[in-house]
Amino acid sequence: MAIKIGDKAPSFTLIDTNEKSIALKDYSAKSILVVIFSCNHCPFAQAWEDRIVAIQDSFKSQDVQILVISSNDANQYPADSFAEMKKRALEKNFNFPYLYDETQEVAHSYGAEKTPEVFVFDQSRTLKYHGAIDDNYDDENAVKTHYLKNALNDLLQNSSPTTPTSEPEGCTIKWFN
Amino acid sequence: MKIQFLYFDGCPSHETALDRLKKAMQLEKINAPIEIKEIFTQKEAENFSFLGSPTILINDEDIDMLPQNPHFALTCRAYTLPNGKISPLPPLELIQHALRK
């Protein structure tokens, strides 16, 4: 079961696609931290990845940091191997750390189930939003509710998100057999 | 005309994709039964050449081009849209094109 609104962010230390060790506490100075479970192979993740890049870009100056974590079993899904993650990060010009959760411990600690699945934490690293990025994976131009952007804007105005949860739509995380 | 719709329940786009297939058939004025098959196991995925959910076969032919090294698995399928973006749904035009063949 996923962590709940009001819970603290489970800590972690993972390697990113630049082979740099990244810990949650490295971003303690950031006013908002967004943790997104995603992966390479899932078309839902692919459909949304440019939007994640755009959101990081537009909120960077407001001290918002996005971390994207891939936890899938790369033996079953070779497209999600660390080597393929490195390629994807370069090809798509990811402007956020893309982290490899090789043991799946971090996905378990957050209770994540889908890719993509979003967790937004405030300055005290309390969960304020959990769910989807927006409400249309198929057509960016037909989005009606920008869940993640709205949550960030609410938090930046020192308010709790009007919509603190939504249903994440995507592939299931590919657990070890 | 033989129309098959294969899906995996772990991928949430199949209901919308089935609606899109029905719409494409309506637009192309094709009245034929749709054989709907849920794929449960990796072995079934391999037996049915299931590239991911949803997969649509018209007269046993996939509506989309097959990759050079197909990976048959219980997964969601990526379709390339006319604008180059990726979607978990086959574009309506792709289904219509396959139905016209």
CATH of the domain at A164: 3.40.30.10
Percentage of residues in chain B having pLDDT higher than 70: 100
Q: How many domains does chain A have?
A: 1
What is the least distance, in Å, from the CA of A41 to any CA of chain B?
A: 8
Tokens of A63: 């001290």
pLDDT given for residue B68 in this prediction: 85
Q: Is the model's pLDDT at B94 over the cut of 90? A: yes
Fill in the amino acid letter for A20.
K
Residues in chain A within 8 Å Cβ distance of B85: 47, 50, 140
pLDDT given for residue A101 in this prediction: 98
pLDDT given for residue B98 in this prediction: 97
Percentage of residues in chain B having pLDDT higher than 90: 84
DSSP A153: H
**In terms of residue numbers, what domain contains A151?**
30-172
Q: Is the model's pLDDT at B59 over the cut of 90? A: yes
Q: Is the model's pLDDT at A28 over the cut of 90? A: yes
Residues in chain B within 8 Å Cβ distance of A51: none
Q: How many domains does chain B have?
A: 1
Residues in chain B within 8 Å Cβ distance of A137: 13, 87-88
Task: Give me the mean pLDDT over the B2-11 stretch.
Answer: 96
Preferred mutation among B7, B42, B74, B76 to probe A, highest tally of A CBs within 10 A: B76
**pTM confidence score:** 0.94
Task: Give me the mean pLDDT over the A157-172 stretch.
Answer: 97
Confidence of residue B66 (pLDDT cuts 50, 70, 90): confident
Contact criterion met (CB < 8 Å) for B11 and A137: no
Specify which residues A34 forms β-bridges with.
Answer: A66, A120
Q: Which residues in B have their CB inside 8 Å of a CB on A?
A: 10-13, 16, 52, 71, 73, 75-79, 85-89
Centroid of chain to Cα A60 = 15
Task: Give me the mean pLDDT over the A73-87 stretch.
Answer: 96
Task: Give me the mean pLDDT over the B47-72 stretch.
Answer: 92
Confidence of residue B69 (pLDDT cuts 50, 70, 90): confident
**In terms of residue numbers, what domain contains B10?**
3-100
Task: Tell me if A12 is assigned to some domain.
Answer: no
Task: Give me the mean pLDDT over the A97-114 stretch.
Answer: 98
Distance CA A112, CA B91 (A): 29
Contact criterion met (CB < 8 Å) for B87 and A76: no
Name residues whose C-beta falls within 8 Å of residue A98's C-beta, 6 or more positions apart in sequence.
A16, A17, A68, A70, A85, A88, A89
Confidence of residue A90 (pLDDT cuts 50, 70, 90): very high
Contact criterion met (CB < 8 Å) for A76 and B73: yes
- Per-residue pLDDT of A111-164, as tens digits, reads 999 999 999 999 999 999 999 999 999 999 999 999 999 999 999 999 999 999
Residues in chain A within 8 Å Cβ distance of B79: 43
Give Cα separations from B35 to A107, B18, B22, B100 (angstroms).
37, 11, 12, 18
Q: Please name the member of A46, A139, A171 whose beta carbon is closest to the beta carbon of B75.
A: A171
Q: Is the model's pLDDT at B16 over the cut of 90? A: yes
pLDDT given for residue A27 in this prediction: 97
Tell me which chain A residue has its CA closest to the CA of residue B90.
A138
pLDDT given for residue B101 in this prediction: 85
**B69 or B97: which carries more pLDDT confidence?**
B97
Tell me which chain B residue has its CA closest to the CA of residue A137.
B87
Task: Give me the mean pLDDT over the A82-107 stretch.
Answer: 98
DSSP B6: E
Task: Tell me if A20 is assigned to some domain.
Answer: no
Q: Is the model's pLDDT at B18 over the cut of 90? A: yes
Preferred mutation among B86, B92, B94 to probe A, highest tally of A CBs within 10 A: B86
Q: What is the mean pLDDT of chain B?
A: 95
